[in-house]
C-alpha cells in the first residue's frame, strides 16, 4: 500500500541546510516497505531539497556562502515583490527574489531507492532541506513511499 505524509519544519536561518534523513527513515519504518521508491518534494518555492553531506556543518556553511556569492542578496535589485502577488496572500512586502533564484539551483524533488527496508544512500549522503528564505515556520515536505 502506498504511504503519504507531510513533514513540517521551522527553519532558523535565512539560508539553512538541515538533514531530514532520520525523519524519512521514520516514514519508511511507518510504511513498512522493504523494497520500493521514496519520493519527497518541497512544497515551497524558496526551499529545496538536496542529497549531500549535510552532517558536516562547515560544508553546509560553504553551501550557503557559495549561493549568497553566486546570487546577489539585495532583493531590491530584482523585479519580484511579494506584495504584487496576484493571490493577495502576502501580508508583508518581502523582497525575496534572490531566494527564488537560489532555490532554482537546488532540487525541488528527491527520489531515493529503497532496498531491504533501507534508503539506498551512500555512506556520507543525507537528504536535507535547503532553506533559502528563512527563518520560516511550518515549511512542508511531502513524502510518498511506493512499494515495488
147 pLDDT more than 60: yes
pLDDT band at 94 (very low <50, low <70, confident <90, very high): low
Give the chain's mean pLDDT.
90
> What pLDDT was estimated at residue 99?
87
Q: What pLDDT digit, counting tens, does each position of 67-86 carry?
A: 989 998 776 677 776 656 66
pLDDT band at 28 (very low <50, low <70, confident <90, very high): very high
> What pLDDT was estimated at residue 97?
83
The structural domains of the chain, ordered by start, are 3-147 (2.60.120.460)
Cell 531530514 belongs to which residue?
Answer: 20
Do 110 and 127 contact (CB within 8 A), yes or no?
Answer: yes
- Distance from CA of residue 95 to its chain's centroid? 20
| Strands of the sheet with 16-19, listed across from one edge | 16-19, 126-131, 47-52
* Phi, psi (degrees; rounded to nearest 5) at 68: -70, -35
Amino acid at each position: 500500500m502506498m504511504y503519504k505524509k507531510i513533514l513540517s519544519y521551522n527553519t532558523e536561518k535565512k539560508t539553512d541546510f538541515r538533514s531530514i534523513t532520520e525523519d524519512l527513515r521514520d516514514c519508511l519504518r511507518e510504511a513498512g516497505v522493504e523494497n520500493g521508491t521514496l519520493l519527497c518534494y518541497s512544497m515551497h518555492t524558496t526551499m529545496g531539497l538536496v542529497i549531500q553531506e549535510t552532517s558536516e556543518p562547515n560544508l553546509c556553511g560553504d553551501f550557503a556562502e557559495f549561493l549568497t556569492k553566486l546570487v546577489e542578496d539585495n532583493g531590491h535589485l530584482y523585479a519580484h515583490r511579494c506584495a504584487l502577488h496576484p493571490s493577495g496572500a502576502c501580508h508583508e512586502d518581502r523582497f525575496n527574489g534572490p531566494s527564488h533564484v537560489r532555490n532554482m539551483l537546488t532540487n525541488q524533488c528527491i527520489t531515493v531507492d529503497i532496498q531491504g527496508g533501507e534508503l539506498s544512500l551512500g555512506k556520507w549522503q543525507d537528504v536535507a532541506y535547503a532553506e533559502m528564505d528563512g527563518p520560516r515556520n511550518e515549511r512542508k515536505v511531502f513524502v510518498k513511499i511506493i512499494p515495488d
